[in-house]
Structure 1
Amino acid sequence: MSTATTPAQEHQERWQKLCRDPALQDLPYKIETNERGQVVLSPPKTAHSDLQGRILDALRKARLEGRGLPEFPITTSGGVRVPDVVWIPEGRLEEITETGDPPTRAPNLCVEVMSESIDWSEMGEKRALYLKAGAEEVWVVDKDGAVRFFRKQGELEASELVPGFPERV
């Protein structure tokens, strides 16, 4: 008798296979998968990387208990997505990673930096996937460094998770 896998397990298995693929080891791209398990590549840009660094610096300055990490893979119902920056409170990383690799549970905060290859409609889909996977807030940073804050209920004027976080990085 065969054991049925869940869509999350299928995404995790596909991701593990991609991680072992020698042809993908040295690609200079951020890799994600979509809901069908197809590979989505995003070439890095200097300005994008700079904004990731600024976000991490600002999170460190906020002196939160926890860790800010770049490019953290999350298994969602829409494939494995990789927010540009995440923040995880102390002690929660273990809880998150217990759900598999990549985890099916999102960190408390997921941050995406807009790029030329994604529009606001697509970004709305990513936000919804992170929130559904358990993120408390999702931030979207535009190419000029302006930060927009979101929860399940919609857009916020400011972050509730990181009070005082700047509206521009």
Structure 2
Amino acid sequence: MSLTTTPAQERQERWQELCRDPSLQDLPYKIETNERGQIVLSPPKAAHSDLQGRILDAFREARPEGRGLPEFPITTSGGVRVPDVVWMSEGRLEEITETGDPPTRAPDLCVEIMSESNDWSEMDEKRALYLEAGAEEVWVVDKDGAVRFFGKQELEASELVSGFPERV
């Protein structure tokens, strides 16, 4: 009898392989994989990091009972994707980590920050992947800090983090 793995397990195994690769340990890039397990690198920029910090600060103020984290890997049907910021309710982290490393279940909320190398086609794809993995909302923040909120469709405001500003 042969053992078989699921596509999600294969993506998790590929991610663990990359995490162990010493040549990738000190790269100054955000690393993700695509649906074929190929590495996708994104160089960080100071303005991008500043927006991540502003979003995390706003989470702490608006929903102190939850947890905001930067760059959280998620195993999706399109590879391992790493939203710039995530927010999760109490108990969700434990539920998520039970699905493996990196998890196959997304946090409640995933945030992507647009950069010069992104376009809306890529953001639409990532949004669909995060929602498919269980995110309730996905936000896209443009380089000027304007926030667009999405559930299954675009929202006027976040339903998870009420009062979150439309600009960070």
- Give the TM-score normalised by structure 1: 0.98
Letter in 2 for 1:33: T
The match for 2:136 is 136
Note the C-alpha offset of 1:66. 1.4
Q: Distance in 2 between matches of 1:131 and 1:37?
A: 20
The match for 1:75 is 75
> Deviations along 1:37-84, whole A, 9 cap, x unmatched?
000000000000000000000001113321100000000000000000
Q: Distance in 2 between matches of 1:60 and 1:46?
A: 21
How much identity, in percent, do the aligned residues show? 88
> Deviations along 1:133-160, whole A, 9 cap, x unmatched?
00000000000000000001x1001001
> Deviations along 1:99-158, whole A, 9 cap, x unmatched?
000000000000000011111001100000000000000000000000000001x10010
Q: How does 1:60-99 map to 2 (within 5 A)?
A: 60-99=60-99
The match for 1:44 is 44
Q: Distance in 1 between matches of 2:36 and 2:161?
A: 34
Q: How does 1:1-169 map to 2 (within 5 A)?
A: 1-152=1-152, 154-169=153-168
Q: Which runs of 5+ in 2 are unaligned?
A: none
Where does structure 1 differ by over 2 angstroms across 4 or more consecutive aligned residues? none
Q: Distance in 1 between matches of 2:142 and 2:23?
A: 32
CA RMSD of aligned residues (A): 0.6
Letter in 1 for 2:158: S
Q: Distance in 1 between matches of 2:120 and 2:63?
A: 31
